[in-house]
């Protein structure tokens, strides 16, 4: 069971697991994905791990994980070596600055896209929670675990309460 | 705790903890990576951190592999290996256990509530990631325009994001970004 060809992108994972090899049904895939989405950590890595274990137990999980992470991690190491050696060259520094600017723009676009439904629903509480986390982490630079240990229970309590009011 | 003398140990501890708090994926953990790698341990400078982020975006594979690069910069190959495993394994094992215990319909309500509750948190975290990286990168008008341009293009078109990275890189090479 060689998964070395795994692209590392969700679309590819889905195509390979559901469409080509019929290792999982579409529903199973969605369910596993939803689960891995609300758990912490890199979603796709979680997904691969759970998927591998369902198929072949722990060895399957390890195989799927190595297939997903191994090849791109090797590329990263090579990039790291190149950066280590040539990172001080002026032209490369300029190129990387340019790429970073564009990459930040891409991340902001994702943020906007995720915010849109909250605005559309006029979900004031969710927007306030969002701003509070932004300020605590981005501006006050508080440690992540401390912020989340406070924010997660509060957010869950609010969500639960709002859903119960609505029901 | 003498983590300064053994960076590999510090890497393992840092990323294993972070792994369990990365709500919404690797991009949400960027402010924490920056805080630990730049402010606390001085493993990287601000500029190196944004460079590493740029390299990670240019490379194939899951976003989380930015930790491989950070690990490599800190402690070479062992650092890369340890950082990657520490970031991936704890949360993957957690996912495995939860998926075994969570039978299909019995707890159908709670995952929905938890997921809805985490959405605003992960948006706030990603916004903070963008802000922290932009503080270092976008120090000229042109640089800020590239960021805004990429954000707008990615929001309103279906253009492949790689093109925007390439254009950003070319503008940088031409010396326009500074």
How do the pLDDT tens digits run along chain B, 178 residues long? 444 557 788 888 887 888 777 776 777 888 888 888 888 888 888 888 888 888 887 776 677 788 888 888 888 888 888 888 888 888 878 777 777 666 554 556 666 777 778 888 888 888 888 888 888 877 788 888 888 888 888 888 777 777 888 887 788 787 766 5
The structure tokens listed for B115 are 């997921």
Which of A88-102, A127-141, B85-99, B146-160 tops mean pLDDT? A127-141
Mean pLDDT computed over A65-80? 79
More confident residue, B2 or A39: A39
Q: How far is A19 from chain B (nearest CA, A)?
A: 21
pLDDT score for A74: 82
Is residue A103 a contact partner of residue B168, using CB atoms and an 8 Å limit? Answer: yes
pLDDT score for B102: 62
| Cα–Cα distance measured from residue A8 to residue A6, given in angstroms and rounded to the nearest whole number | 6
Contacts of B27 in chain A (CB under 8 A): 107, 110
Instruction: Name residues 143-162 of chain B within 8 A of A (Cβ).
Output: 143-144, 146-155, 161
pLDDT score for B104: 53
The three-state secondary structure class of A157 is helix
| Residue with tokens 């909250």, as numbered in its chain | A118
pLDDT bracket for residue A4 (50, 70, 90):
very low
pLDDT bracket for residue A8 (50, 70, 90):
very low
Instruction: Name residues 3-32 of chain A within 8 A of B (Cβ).
Output: 7-8, 31-32
| Cα–Cα distance measured from residue B134 to residue B138, given in angstroms and rounded to the nearest whole number | 5
Q: How far is A123 from chain B (nearest CA, A)?
A: 10
- Quickly list H helices, B25-65: 30-34, 46-58
Residue of A nearest to B156 (CA): A109
| Cα–Cα distance measured from residue A3 to residue A120, given in angstroms and rounded to the nearest whole number | 41
- Using CB atoms, pick whichever of A46, A83, A144 lies closest to residue B55: A83
- Quickly list H helices, B59-159: 66-101, 109-137, 141-156
Reference A143, options B120, B128, B83, B62; nearest CA is B128
- Using CB atoms, pick whichever of A77, A94, A144 lies closest to residue B32: A144
pLDDT score for B30: 84
Cβ contact (<8 Å) for A77 and B68?
yes
Domain coordinates in residue numbering, chain B: 7-104
Residue A87 has pLDDT above 60, yes or no: yes
- Using CB atoms, pick whichever of B26, B123, B148 lies closest to residue A105: B148
Cβ contact (<8 Å) for A129 and B124?
yes
Sign of CA dihedral B157, A13, B94, A75: negative
Cβ contact (<8 Å) for B95 and A46?
yes
**Predicted ipTM > 0.85:** no
| Cα–Cα distance measured from residue A65 to residue B84, given in angstroms and rounded to the nearest whole number | 11
Cβ contact (<8 Å) for B53 and A100?
yes
Beta-carbon contacts of residue A110 (< 8 Å; ≥ 6 apart): B27, B126, B154
pLDDT score for A15: 64
| Residue with tokens 């969605």, as numbered in its chain | A30
Mean pLDDT computed over A17-44? 66
pLDDT score for B92: 78
Residue A122, CB-side half-sphere exposure with 13 Å CA sphere: 0
- Using CB atoms, pick whichever of B68, B137, B167 lies closest to residue A104: B137
Asked if A100 reaches chain B (Cβ–Cβ under 8 Å), the answer is yes
| Cα–Cα distance measured from residue A142 to residue A86, given in angstroms and rounded to the nearest whole number | 34
Q: How far is B42 from chain A (nearest CA, A)?
A: 15
Asked if A85 reaches chain B (Cβ–Cβ under 8 Å), the answer is no
Average pLDDT, chain A: 75
Q: How far is B7 from chain A (nearest CA, A)?
A: 17
pTM of the model: 0.79
Asked if B111 reaches chain A (Cβ–Cβ under 8 Å), the answer is yes
């Amino acid at each position: 069971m060689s998964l070395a060809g795994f692209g590392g992108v969700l679309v590819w994972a889905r195509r390979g697991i559901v469409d080509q090899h019929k290792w999982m049904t579409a529903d199973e895939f969605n369910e596993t994905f939803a689960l891995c989405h609300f758990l912490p950590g890199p979603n796709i890595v979680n997904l691969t791990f759970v998927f591998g274990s369902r198929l072949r137990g722990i060895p399957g999980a390890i195989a799927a994980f190595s297939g997903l992470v191994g090849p791109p991690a090797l590329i990263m190491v090579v990039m790291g070596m190149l950066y280590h050696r040539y990172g001080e060259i002026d032209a490369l520094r300029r190129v990387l600055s340019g790429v970073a600017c564009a990459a930040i723009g891409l991340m902001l676009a994702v943020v906007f896209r995720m915010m849109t439904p909250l605005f559309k629903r006029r979900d004031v509480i969710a927007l306030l929670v969002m701003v509070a986390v932004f300020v605590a982490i981005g501006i006050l630079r508080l440690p992540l675990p401390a912020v989340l240990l406070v924010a997660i229970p509060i957010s869950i309590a609010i969500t639960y309460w709002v859903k119960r009011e609505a029901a | 705790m003498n983590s300064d003398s053994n960076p590999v140990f510090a890497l393992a501890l840092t990323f294993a903890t972070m792994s369990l708090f990365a709500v919404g994926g690797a991009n949400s953990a960027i402010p924490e990576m920056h805080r630990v790698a730049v402010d606390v341990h001085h493993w990287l400078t601000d500029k190196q951190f944004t460079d590493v982020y740029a390299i990670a975006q240019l490379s194939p594979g899951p976003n989380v592999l930015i930790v491989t690069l950070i690990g490599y910069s800190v402690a070479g190959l062992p650092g890369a290996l340890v950082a990657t495993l520490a970031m991936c394994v704890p949360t993957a094992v957690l996912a495995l256990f939860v998926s075994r215990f969570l039978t299909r319909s019995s707890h159908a309500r709670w995952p929905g509530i938890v997921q809805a509750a985490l959405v605003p948190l992960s948006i706030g975290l990603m916004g903070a990631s963008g802000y922290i990286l932009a503080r270092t990168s976008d120090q000229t008008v042109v640089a800020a325009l590239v960021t805004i341009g990429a954000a707008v293009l990615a929001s309103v078109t279906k253009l492949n994001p790689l093109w925007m990275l390439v254009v950003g890189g070319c503008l940088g090479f031409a010396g326009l970004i500074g």
